[in-house]
């Protein structure tokens, strides 16, 4: 089961977040900060799955933006990895321009629905 | 009032903020503006304001005052309002807030709206945050929408149904009729969500699972999967050359659930699994994702062995892949399957061991766990070398687990005692500070039991701490050994290695420096002090020095050390005659549990030695066939098969206030020995005390008897009584053979009357050599609370001169001192 879906930039600013389970609002910021810290500390030749607390993080980097999905153990990690890419491709098609932070930023309302 | 700014403006403004404080200020200003706008009940701009509020909520600022506004937006007629309103409801509201129930009516109306998009919005919101009350009220509507022909609505309704089932499991039956036709759709969206719904139902309820197996869901799924694989390129479902991989993965997962523990279903899907496994393209990540799911499914259902081998080979191929993600996934799956398909996984052992050197932390951890699972008697030397090398170079977070794993594996599969000790030494010196605390007593016990290696062990340990005594577990083990075997160390006798020349003073130097050092923990100091004390009986010329050291610590600040020192002082002064006996060499400790190939033959109704420590005596015993034999033996009703008791962990003590003193000591060793009951006494101070023969023979010389003598086989009983527990009698039997041929497979069984309890410990061997050249010893403990006359019936089975012999006898000649 997917627990959350995050898009965070390298400086740690959240560009998009969607939680599928209830998480307290102040805990969310802490979680996001820790998650981005883990992702930033990974090098290029390490795998995209991180074990974090009692669930897994699947992350993928697109330029300056990290897309991170938190999953529990019932999910197929590689399928989620593909899902992330699919989602980014969809965004790209929909906004018909190169995906960059700015465009995600400015179209937040539409993405949250998507 | 000027029109509130648009969301985009707000975002642009916030982006210009250079610090967190600036950002907070901007947001607070905007929040204030939004609040006043809400108060004015402004309909035109409400939508805009709520959108801004949602953005601020996403950044982490509180936005609860917008909840009612969301409800107002939902109730509006405009689609844009509804859209933002429902979004806000999903993000800001959940069942913890009371206001959410106000939404129920709105949602109900919207579920019946004429526009499908509005209906879709309502379904989404209900499926996201609906509480159980809302779900109960609206489940009927959802079910109706599940049967509609509009695929857009159908797929959303299916997901909403999943949420309803999660919240209110009793409503599952309601959705059952609608599921009949779900899989007949062409639309992949509907198919996907239907498979999710079916998966959820099967996972939640075994009845549903049985029902779906019966209505031949599996053939339907197989058909759909086949179409997906066989169909040509379809642009709307294509991902890197594979048609709708997400749906394929979902179907495979549902097949896994259906096939688990069910032979018929598993058989129906064997073909399609083989087909997917062989036809899927592996060059891209997508293909590998599908293969991964297939492998998981194959391992979980009752597949045929050919298929399982195929699955493991796929995993092996994954391991060789360059992509890290795939290797990680392969290692994880191999770990799951290593229990069941051990041999197949062994084939990939070398690749797995290579993964230990990978740079990625997650892969290293998986490889380490898998390596431990693969160690067996044949490959233990090679594997250990790799694992020790890994221990040297791995990150600190792994070292504790790795060390524990190495100890366990070494204990199970050690090819020789010397190798075992060497391995332990290596671990202690490389990762000494990461070794777990409970490993120390286990190691000490191990060293005690390998009698011939004592000199070698103590020499190596001495050399190890000469240079560096900062690693606590190493120092603890080393101090203990030096204390025990110090005489071997200074006498310089060691067959295995070049003996080193050590004087008594040098040994005392090192122990004293451990005592003084700041790096030593209080526990370690305790060990060192006790070791010094023990050396007073083993060393000859430095006793005065030892006395001095001990008396210094009599005023130590550390209470533990002080108590010990004071008591040792007393030992020197008043009880000097007892000192040698007390500080005698430790006897070989009996192990009640075994972790490896050595067997304990329990002949009194219990087959599992491990059960001795885990099962309390009352749950013990279902009579096994052996016990039944005994019952036949015994015939009478007054004798029951014996029930073993847990080994008593009372050290024997001879009287005297000294020992009461010592008995009260809370030794650091003793809490540790509690979880490991096989160590029946703390290995420190009470060394000499626990050697029962010493005191009991002095205290009460009980004559030994010949219990049985026939056909050249003689069995003698020698007795000891415990003084702390007068109802326990310890009988040591010695079996000897005066014929000219050996007796093999010797088994001794005993039964006692009902009022007694008996415990048989392991025999020293099962072969009695001929011509009285050796004996078998076995210890029996008898509990006789009512002090009745001891009687015993014994049964002997052995092989002699090529034929199996068996005999029964009764032993009645127990001396009165053994039971009174």
- Identify which of B58, B83, B84 has the shortest CB distance to residue A17: B58
- Where does the pLDDT of residue B595 fall: very low under 50, low under 70, confident under 90, or very high at 90 and above? very low
Residues 6+ apart with CB under 8 A from B512: B528, B532, B549
pLDDT (average), residues A31-48: 85
Q: A77 and B360: CB-CB below 8 Å? A: no
Residue B28's pLDDT is 92
Whole-number Å distance between alpha carbons of B316 and B321: 9
Give B376 or B629, the one with higher predicted confidence.
B376
pLDDT exceeds 90 at position A69: yes
Go through B275-303 and write b for each residue having 16 or more CB atoms within 10 A of its CB, e for each that does not.
bbbeebeeeebbbbbbbbbbbbbbbbbeb
d(CA B346, CA B371) in angstroms, rounded, equals 10
Number of C-alpha atoms within 13 angstroms, CB side, residue B524?
24
Mean pLDDT for B650-664 is 38
Q: Worst-scoring range by mean pLDDT, B16-30, B86-100, B426-440, B681-695?
A: B681-695
Is B447 exposed, middle or buried (CB count within 10 Å of its CB: 0-12, 13-18, 19+)? buried
Q: Do A79 and B293 touch (CB under 8 A)?
A: yes
Here the tokens at position B635 are 């015939």
According to the model, what pLDDT value does residue B294 have? 92
With an 8 Å Cβ cutoff, are A112 and B87 in contact? yes
Nearest residue of B to residue A8, measured between CA atoms = B59
Residues 6+ apart with CB under 8 A from B299: B308, B311, B333, B336, B337, B340, B341
Q: Do residues B725 and B784 make contact, with C-beta atoms less than 8 angstroms apart?
A: no
B804's enclosing H/E stretch is: strand B803-811
> If you compute the radius of gyration of chain A from its CA atoms, what whole number of angstroms results?
13
d(CA B345, CA B6): 61
Q: At how many degrees (to 10) do helices B454-467 and B417-431 cross?
A: 10
The pLDDT of residue A58: 92
Q: Which are the contacts of B197, defined by CB distance < 8 A and separation ≥ 6?
A: B158, B159, B161, B162, B165, B175, B179, B182
pLDDT-based confidence at B701, cuts 50/70/90?
low
Indicate yes or no: CB of A109 within 8 angstroms of CB of B87.
Answer: yes
B204 part of contact set with chain A, CB < 8 Å: no
Contact across the interface for B325 and A47, Cβ inside 8 Å: yes
pLDDT digits (tens, 9 = 90+) for B354-384: 888 887 888 888 888 888 888 888 888 888 8
In this predicted structure, the answer to whether residue A18 has a pLDDT above a threshold of 70 is yes
Say if residue B746's pLDDT is above 90.
Answer: no
The pair phi, psi for residue B439, each rounded to 5°, is: -75, -30
Burial class (CB in 10 A: 0-12, 13-18, 19+), B149: exposed
Cβ(B118)–Cβ(B85) under 8 Å? no
Mean pLDDT on B785-794? 81
In sequence order, which residues have a C-beta less than 8 Å from that of residue A111 and are 6 or more positions away?
Answer: A16, A91, A104
Segment A109-114 mean pLDDT: 60
Of A22, A81, A105, the CB nearest to B285: A81
The predicted complex's ipTM stands at: 0.85
Residue B602 has pLDDT above 60, yes or no: no
The pLDDT value recorded for residue B735 is: 85
Tally of CA atoms within 13 A in the half-sphere of B109 that contains its CB: 9
pLDDT(B638) > 80: no
**Is the pLDDT reported for residue B551 higher than 80?**
yes
- Looking at residue B696, its pLDDT comes to 40
DSSP letter for B799, please.
E
Contact B136, B108 (CB under 8 A): no
Report which secondary-structure segment, H or E, holds B383: helix B380-393
Lowest mean pLDDT among A99-113, B213-227, B276-290, B800-814: A99-113
- Mean per-residue pLDDT, B658-670: 40
Beta strand pairing call for B757-760 and B705-710: unpaired
Looking at chain B, the number of H-run helices and the number of E-run strands are 37, 10
Quick check: B344 contacting A, CB < 8 Å? no
What is the per-residue burial (b if ≥16 Cβ within 10 Å, else e) of B329-351? bbbbbbbebbeebeebbeebbeb
Return the pLDDT at A113.
59
Give me chain B's average pLDDT, please: 79
Q: Which of B247, B196, B201, B256 is nearest to B225 (CA)?
A: B247
- For residue A25, list chain B residues with Cβ-Cβ distance below 8 A: 57, 60, 62
CB burial class (10 A; 0-12, 13-18, 19+) of residue B395?
Answer: exposed
Mean pLDDT of B259-272: 88
d(C-alpha B199, C-alpha B189), whole Å? 15
User: Over the stretch B131-159, which tens digit does the pLDDT of each residue have?
Assistant: 888 999 999 999 999 998 898 999 999 99
Please report, in angstroms and rounded to a whole number, the separation of the first and last CA atoms in chain A.
Answer: 18
Contacts of residue B235 in chain A, CB cutoff 8 Å? none
Q: Look at residue B163 and tell me whether its pLDDT is greater than 90.
A: yes
What residues in A contact B83, CB-CB < 8 Å?
Answer: 113
Contact, B197 vs B158, CB < 8 A? yes
Answer yes or no: is pLDDT of A63 > 80: yes
- What lies within 8 Å, CB to CB, of B207 at 6+ separation is none
Cα(B442)–Cα(B291) distance, integer angstroms: 44
Range picked from A40-44, B306-310, B707-711 for highest mean pLDDT: B306-310
pLDDT of B469 above 60:
yes
Does residue B306 carry a pLDDT above 80? yes
A63 φ/ψ sector (left φ>0, alpha ψ -120 to 50, else beta): left
Q: How many CB pairs under 8 A join A and B?
A: 89
| Coil/strand/helix, residue B813 | coil
Using CA atoms, how far apart are residues B279 and B229, in angstroms rounded to an integer? 8
Place of tokens 């749906």: B247
- For the residues B235-261, what does the mean pLDDT come to? 89
Angle between helix axes B20-39 and B7-16 (nearest 10 degrees) is 160
Instruction: Say what the pLDDT of residue A114 is.
Output: 52
* CB contacts, 8 Å: B324 with chain A: 45-48
Q: What's the residue count for chain B?
A: 820
Give the Cα-Cα-Cα angle B112, B115, B118 (nearest 5 degrees): 75
Statement: residue B19 has pLDDT above 50: yes
Q: B210 — contact with chain A (CB < 8 Å)?
A: no
Q: Looking at the complex, does the CB of residue B15 fall below 8 Å from at least one CB of chain A?
A: yes
pLDDT at B674: 36
B288: contact with A, CB 8 A cutoff: yes
Q: Among the listed ranges A43-57, B43-57, B606-620, which one has the minimum average pLDDT value?
A: B606-620
Chain A interface test: which of B315, B355, B362 (most A C-beta within 10 Å): B362
Find which of A98-107, B98-107, B339-348, B668-677 is predicted with most confidence, using mean pLDDT.
B98-107
* Whether the Cβ atoms of residue B590 and residue B761 lie closer than 8 Å to each other: yes
DSSP B147-201: TSS-HHHHHHHHHHHHHHHHH-GGGGGGGTGGGGGGGG---HHHHHHHHHHHHHH
- Note whether B319 and B351 are within 8 A (CB): yes
Q: What is the pLDDT of residues B209-233, one digit of tens each?
A: 898 888 888 888 999 999 888 887 8
Q: Do the Cβ atoms of B87 and A86 come within 8 Å?
A: no
Residues of B in contact with A48 (CB under 8 A): 324-325
């Amino acid at each position: 089961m997917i627990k959350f879906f995050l898009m965070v930039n390298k400086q740690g600013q959240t560009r998009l977040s969607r939680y599928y389970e209830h998480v307290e609002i102040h805990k969310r910021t802490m979680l996001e900060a820790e998650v981005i810290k883990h992702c930033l500390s990974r090098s290029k030749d390490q795998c995209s799955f991180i074990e974090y607390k009692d669930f897994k993080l699947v992350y993928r980097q697109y330029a300056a933006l990290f897309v991170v999905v938190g999953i529990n153990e019932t999910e197929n990690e590689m399928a989620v990895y593909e899902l992330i890419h699919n989602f980014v491709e969809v965004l790209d098609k929909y906004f018909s321009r190169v995906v960059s932070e700015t465009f995600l930023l400015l179209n937040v309302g539409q993405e949250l629905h998507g | 009032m000027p029109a509130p700014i648009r969301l985009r403006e707000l975002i642009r403004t916030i982006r210009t903020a250079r610090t967190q404080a600036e950002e907070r200020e901007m947001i607070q200003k905007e929040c204030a503006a939004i609040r006043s706008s809400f108060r004015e009940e402004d309909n035109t701009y409400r939508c805009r304001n709520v959108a801004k509020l949602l953005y601020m909520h996403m950044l982490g600022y509180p936005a609860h005052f917008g909840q009612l506004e969301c409800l107002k937006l939902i109730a509006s007629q405009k689609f844009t309002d509804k859209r933002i309103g429902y979004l806000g409801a999903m993000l800001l509201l959940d069942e913890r807030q009371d206001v959410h129930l106000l939404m129920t009516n709105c949602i109900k109306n919207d579920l019946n709206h004429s526009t499908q998009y509005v209906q879709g919005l309502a379904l989404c919101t209900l499926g996201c945050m609906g509480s159980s009350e809302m779900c109960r009220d609206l489940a009927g509507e959802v079910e109706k929408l599940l049967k509609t022909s509009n695929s857009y609505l159908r797929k959303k309704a299916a997901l909403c149904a999943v949420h309803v089932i999660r919240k209110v499991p009793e409503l599952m039956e309601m959705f059952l009729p609608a599921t009949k036709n779900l899989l007949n759709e062409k639309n992949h969206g509907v198919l996907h969500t239907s498979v999710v719904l079916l998966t959820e139902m099967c996972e939640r309820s075994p009845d549903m699972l049985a029902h779906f197996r019966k209505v031949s869901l599996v053939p339907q799924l197989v058909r759909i999967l086949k179409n997906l694989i066989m169909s040509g390129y379809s642009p709307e479902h294509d991902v890197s050359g594979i048609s709708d991989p997400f749906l394929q993965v979902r179907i495979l997962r549902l097949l896994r659930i259906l096939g688990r523990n069910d032979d018929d279903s598993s058989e129906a899907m064997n073909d399609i699994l083989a087909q997917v496994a062989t036809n899927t393209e592996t060059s891209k990540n997508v293909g590998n994702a599908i293969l991964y799911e297939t492998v998981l499914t194959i391992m979980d259902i009752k597949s045929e062995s050919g298929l399982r081998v195929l699955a493991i080979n796929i995993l092996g191929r994954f391991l060789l892949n360059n992509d890290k993600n795939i290797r990680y996934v392969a290692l994880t799956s191999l770990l799951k399957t290593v229990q069941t398909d051990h041999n197949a996984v062994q084939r990939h052992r070398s690749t797995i061991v290579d993964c230990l050197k990978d740079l990625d932390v997650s892969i290293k951890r998986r490889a380490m766990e898998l390596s431990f699972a693969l160690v067996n008697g044949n490959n233990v030397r090679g594997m250990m070398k790799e694992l020790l090398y890994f221990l040297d170079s791995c990150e600190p977070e792994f070292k504790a687990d790795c060390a524990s794993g190495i100890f366990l594996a070494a204990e199970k599969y050690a090819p020789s005692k010397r190798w075992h000790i060497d391995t332990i030494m290596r671990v202690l010196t490389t990762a000494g500070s990461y070794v777990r605390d409970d490993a120390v007593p286990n190691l000490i016990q191990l060293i005690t039991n390998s009698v011939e290696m004592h000199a070698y062990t103590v020499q190596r340990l001495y050399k190890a701490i000469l240079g560096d005594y900062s690693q606590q577990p190493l120092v603890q083990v080393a101090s203990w050994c030096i204390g025990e075997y110090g005489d071997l160390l200074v006498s310089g006798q060691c067959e295995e290695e070049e003996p080193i020349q050590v004087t008594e003073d040098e040994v005392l130097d090192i122990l004293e420096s451990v005592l003084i050092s700041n790096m030593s923990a209080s526990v370690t100091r305790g060990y060192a002090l006790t070791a010094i004390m023990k050396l007073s009986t083993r060393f000859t010329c430095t006793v005065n020095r030892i006395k001095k050291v001990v008396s210094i610590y009599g005023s130590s600040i550390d209470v533990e050390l002080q108590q010990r020192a004071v008591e040792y002082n007393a030992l020197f002064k008043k009880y000097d005659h007892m000192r040698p006996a007390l500080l005698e060499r430790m006897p070989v400790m009996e192990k009640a549990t075994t972790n490896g190939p050595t067997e304990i033959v329990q002949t009194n109704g219990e087959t599992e030695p491990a059960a001795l420590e885990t099962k309390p005596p009352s749950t013990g015993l279902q009579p096994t066939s052996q016990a039944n034999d005994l019952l036949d033996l015994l015939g009478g009703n007054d004798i029951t098969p014996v029930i073993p008791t847990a080994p008593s962990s009372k050290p024997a003590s001879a009287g005297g206030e000294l020992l009461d003193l010592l008995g009260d000591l809370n030794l650091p060793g003793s809490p540790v020995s509690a979880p490991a009951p096989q160590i029946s006494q703390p290995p420190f101070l009470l060394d000499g005390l626990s050697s029962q023969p010493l005191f009991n023979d002095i205290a009460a010389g009980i004559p030994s008897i010949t219990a049985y003598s026939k056909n050249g086989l003689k069995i003698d009983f020698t007795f000891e009584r415990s003084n702390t527990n007068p109802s326990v009698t310890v009988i040591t039997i010695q079996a000897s053979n005066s014929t000219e041929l050996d007796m093999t497979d010797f088994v001794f069984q005993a039964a006692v009357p009902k009022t007694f309890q008996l415990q048989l410990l392991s025999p020293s061997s099962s072969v009695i050599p001929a011509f009285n050249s050796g004996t078998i010893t076995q210890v029996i403990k008898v509990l006789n609370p009512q002090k009745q006359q001891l009687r015993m019936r014994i049964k002997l089975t052995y092989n002699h001169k090529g034929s199996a012999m068996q005999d029964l006898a009764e032993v009645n000649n127990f001396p009165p001192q053994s039971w009174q």
